[in-house]
Structure 1
């Protein structure tokens, strides 16, 4: 198969991930078409135009074409026959194209995409192609949003490690991975490794089997009204306590949600406050960033206190119906929150951590609002 590439697959690293080997090509042009940004998403689509410049990849095999169909199909793209022009003349090829109305009016530029989005897309493609043969394009399309969240979290972890002051001078490169498996992928994923790592005495651990739930980075924000000394907490059904066997799997928590790809944690905190509590948050006071359960969970949290107005009647029902959220909010005096902690009704870690931070801040002097 000869394939004309006009978009992200012109990136050498991404093309190698999707096809399964390094594949070169030569310059080609598709007359009567142009490259546009998709109406939804950050990927390019082919549309009407004066001419689309691209890369012609020749001689692809059946398995390589199948891998490409699987990946491109998740974006609603199918192969169509075209004739493209090269320096040597015109040649028959295939091109992946989505429905015509999926293109916006904005032009798409490869170099801009490579500087802004390529690392995320490559990391996401690694996850996607690891599942090739275990589902169709429709299944991959459903999984892609959370794959992008997990990819974004992995990139953020590599770029922004916590500082080291008393910890050993060891990195992930000191860990030897013997086998790695991802036996389950849906909203969350499950990773299982056979690995070994150095001991503090200079020895090695020997082979260890470890498994963990792979999630994405997230934020929590406790809305606080300094003038009234009130907080807002949310109540909702939680599967973790339900699965554990808890008699009352409805939990009291701060506002919380995942950090979307390309989104700053502070932006996510403000967005979630509006979605889950119908609140506009002013100043954000940083509580901490941390792993809530590093022995089993990859999730990394940024916790904040968000300054806002909490008058009488601020309680509401909220949540995003398309995400299955059913949220009730409670406006409490800070003293009442601490009474609930003492009574044991508050038993979620981010709310406990944030409440104790706020208790100290109230005693020592609140930050500027």
Structure 2
């Protein structure tokens, strides 16, 4: 069957990833319709909507039943969503998914190719790796998180210093011999074997490991340098609960997963509003670190958020859609350090960020 594809789906490289094979993609146009770019993260698909007087550019590949199944898996569509449409000059039936009229700006294909095509293809790879194993309903539910996982890999490609540590690379000094997805839901678990170059120059024996696939997160410690106040949040956490800690409510910095295409800085500001009802001023980079590099890909982008805490009296915040129940505490810096000393602060990132602030505090206060 011939299917009209537009917007993101009209990118030949992305479409090849989705279908698992190259296809002929003749260009065509659909009168009376427009391609719209909805608001949201980089995982959002473009919309094809009825628009009298407009004309939508797209591709017209011939797809098999298997191709349509893969397309629906990637997009979250159902096969019955494809309705017959009329394209001038086409004698055969043509099908397309027509979206309800909604808000959105006109699709700018050139801008998408320049800014988001690489990430779009990585998101497609991440989603399609689960085809045949991860249920389609799960993909519909966790699509933004799968996209964030792809974005983590893109952020990891940025260069980092190698002044003391070895500058050997994953591509040059590590051989992945097998890589199996043992679990693939909100979090992933990979079962893999590898060899790596040793410090003596020889290759290691074959090593079998399991690894926990997580996300990049932005963490921010709000600080009022004029009043020497910090804001900490408190919430029930699943790690202590699984460890059977009697007190699973934990003091932490404001934090959240970095959405696909979002900068860690923008994520930090967004999370401060969501979790603490707080709008931050200048952000000062603190640290960029792996949470526990021996077994998980989780990575933290840590910031100090300068702000006015004089009128912030704590309170309860968080998103109902994410079942968040978050309490804010505003307290003097020295009182927070006392909690580190006593062990009441038992989340490593918060202790690390408070110790970083202890080193920078005099500079920040003198400039306030």
TM-score normalised per structure 1: 0.91
What are the ranges of 5 or more consecutive residues in structure 1 without an aligned counterpart? none
Superposition pairs for residues 184-263 of structure 1, below 5 Å? 184-263=183-262
1:163 counterpart = 2:161: yes
Name 2:47's counterpart in structure 1: 45
Deviation of residue 197 (structure 1)? 1.0
Residue 34 of structure 1 contacts residue 51 of structure 1 at CA under 8 Å; is this kept in 2?
yes
Counterpart-to-counterpart distance in 2, 1:236 and 1:200? 43
Residues 296-324 of structure 1 deviation map (CA, whole Å, 9 limit, x = unaligned): 12121111222222236611111111111
In the aligned structure 2, how far is the partner of 1:360 from the partner of 1:105?
47
Query: Any gaps of 5 or more consecutive residues in structure 2?
Result: none
> 1:364: how far off?
5.7
The within-5 A match list for 1:8-19 is: 8-19=8-19
CA-atom RMSD, angstroms? 2.2
Q: Is the 8 A contact 2:84 2:95 kept in 1?
A: yes
Q: With the length of structure 2 as denominator, give the TM-score of the two structures.
A: 0.91
Alignment of 1:29-68 (within 5 A): 29-38=29-38, 42-49=44-51, 50-58=54-62, 60-68=63-71
CA contact (8 A) 1:77 1:96 kept: no
In 2, Cα distance between equivalents of 1:282 and 1:105: 30
CA contact (8 A) 1:285 1:367 kept: no
Larger deviation: 355-364 or 116-125?
A: 355-364
Corresponding position of 1:133: 132
Give the length in aligned residue pairs.
Answer: 363
Change in Cα spacing, 1:241 to 1:367, as seen in structure 2 (3 Å) is farther
Deviations 1:233-285 (A, max 9, x none): 11111101111221211111111112222222222212211211112222222
User: Residues 105 and 366 from structure 1, CA distance in 2 versus in 1: closer, same or farther, beyond 3 angstroms?
Assistant: closer
Is the CA contact 1:75–1:141 (under 8 Å) kept in the aligned structure 2? no
Q: By how many angstroms is 1:130 displaced?
A: 1.3
1:82 aligns with 2:79: no
- Partner of 2:197, secondary structure, is coil
1:331 maps to 2:330: yes
What is the aligned partner in structure 1 of residue 3 from structure 2? 3
